[in-house]
Amino acid sequence: MNAIHQPPQPTELTTAKLLINGEFTESKTSHWQEIINPATQQVLGKVPFATADEVNAAIAAAQQAFKSWRHTPIQARMRMMLKLQELIRSNLKRIAQVLSAEQGKTLADAEGDIQRGLEVVEHACSIGTLQMGEYIQGVAQGIDTYSIHQPLGVCAGITPFNFPAMIPLWMFPMAIVCGNTFVLKPSEQDPLSTMMLVELAMQAGVPAGVLNVVHGGKEVVDLLCTHQDIKAISFVGSTAVGTHVYNLAGQHGKRVQSMMGAKNHVVVMPDAHKEQTLNALVGAAFGAAGQRCMALSVAVMVGETKHWVNDLVDKAKTLQVNAGHEPNTDVGPLISQRAKARVMELIHSGVEQGAELLLDGRNVEVKGYEQGNFVGPTIFNHVDTQMRIYNEEIFGPVLVIMHVDTLEQAIQLINANPLGNGVGLFTQSGSTARTFQNNIDVGQVGINIPIPVPVPFFSFTGSRGSKLGDLGPYGKQAVQFYTQTKTITSRWFEDDQEASAVNTTIDLR
């Protein structure tokens, strides 16, 4: 019998604090929510739903700090990012323990969550080249034109529960290194690890008011979206909330980037490397309990790969379902009892609508964690486009399998889906890969890679129903999002130069 390991406990933050003007303070709200360990239902702490006065105070602090922060030399901002990445790296394992406890991820996945965010902080250290403008001398006689990228002002970020380290690190480092100030609203379900990162940012030397944090739900989100001093909103989360944020903030004249829901497909060609492909499919479908916006949720088997399905099921059966902090865990719990109930209901709908249930994870039992929000790996075969398990984002460890005869049919199927976050193709043919990447209408494309999240030198580029707004988070697009391009055309006259005649036309010759 395996021993039950005591889950690690947060040691510094049992109450999520607000950060306003450089001070970590206790909220004066009367509305609090418990932070629950999803494997044990143990209460780890509590989070406040900030009052309107507290949100307004955070925005006011950011507005005041912007007056001086915007003029801070770019090298000074870079040095803060260098210090922040050093602090995150040295505290990574400690943060991962708290993240695992409050979110449910395995320790390895929690460390990966932080590491992917850390990569964006490292890229922010290159802001000296990323924020460069352009210059042309002599666009006309004695006239030069150049562009500069200036900060916008106060920006805000609204982050989801599934990546409480990575996604906040997508947002506030890029925003503040560009010269803006920032108000962050973490997920109310797992804010403790986010707050640990915020503490490190303050230790790295971020001045008071440049980074502020408020907690809460819809009321706080709506206030951020409508406040006159907020210039830009970055959101990652569900389609329903993302659409609301995009519309509300847009109506109030703000820039918005809203990364939303997904139904990520992978196409498996008969010439694919079988073992590598099956391993990739199982890991991408069931890792993080399927709670990734880039999780693989639909496998499109082409032609003879239909015979690979039983081997896929056998591999999924080997995965270990357990609390995230336990050794050798592959699949941890879902974030909440409500999330588990929704996934269970969708699995039931798949059975009712006639899909073939090859692997049922509804009755999984985890000894010592009987109250946990566990759903085991679940696989449906012969799914069609009319079923709920295909049309809805399940956000759990559920893989649905569909069958087509040709690559063209696979592309047509995927392009007909309203969502366009990520897609994968497994093949050994360069010609097939080129045809696929050119014709597929999805933002992130992986060739023999199941979760094609770009490295920070590029930008996250979901498309269609998975993204609202023109620019994505991190990379060069983030610099464009968090700055205003100003173009300057100038002419300088010599003291003894003769004045030209009055000209009523636009003539720069």
Q: Which residues form the catalytic set?
A: 293
Phi, psi for 211 (deg, rounded to 5): -125, 125
Rounded Cα–Cα distance for residues 403 and 425 (Å): 14
Is 159 within 8 Å of 167 (Cβ atoms)? yes
DSSP symbol at 328: T
Q: Which of 219, 214, 221, 216 is nearest to 17 (CA)?
A: 214
> HEC states along 92-142?
HHHHHHHHHHHHCCCHHHHHHHHHHHHHHHHHHCCHHHHCCCCEEEEEECC
Phi, psi for 31 (deg, rounded to 5): -110, 110
Tokens 């379902």 — which residue?
A: 321
Identify the burial level of 482 via C-beta atoms within 10 angstroms of its C-beta, where 0-12 means exposed, 13-18 middle and 19 or more buried: buried
Q: Residue 378 belongs to what H/E stretch? A: strand 378-381
Is 176 within 8 Å of 191 (Cβ atoms)? no
Handedness of CA 248, 251, 255, 258 (dihedral sign): positive
Is 227 within 8 Å of 386 (Cβ atoms)? no
DSSP, collapsed to helix, strand or coil, labels residue 275 as helix
Rounded Cα–Cα distance for residues 359 and 355 (Å): 12
Q: Which of 102, 89, 44 is nearest to 325 (CA)?
A: 102
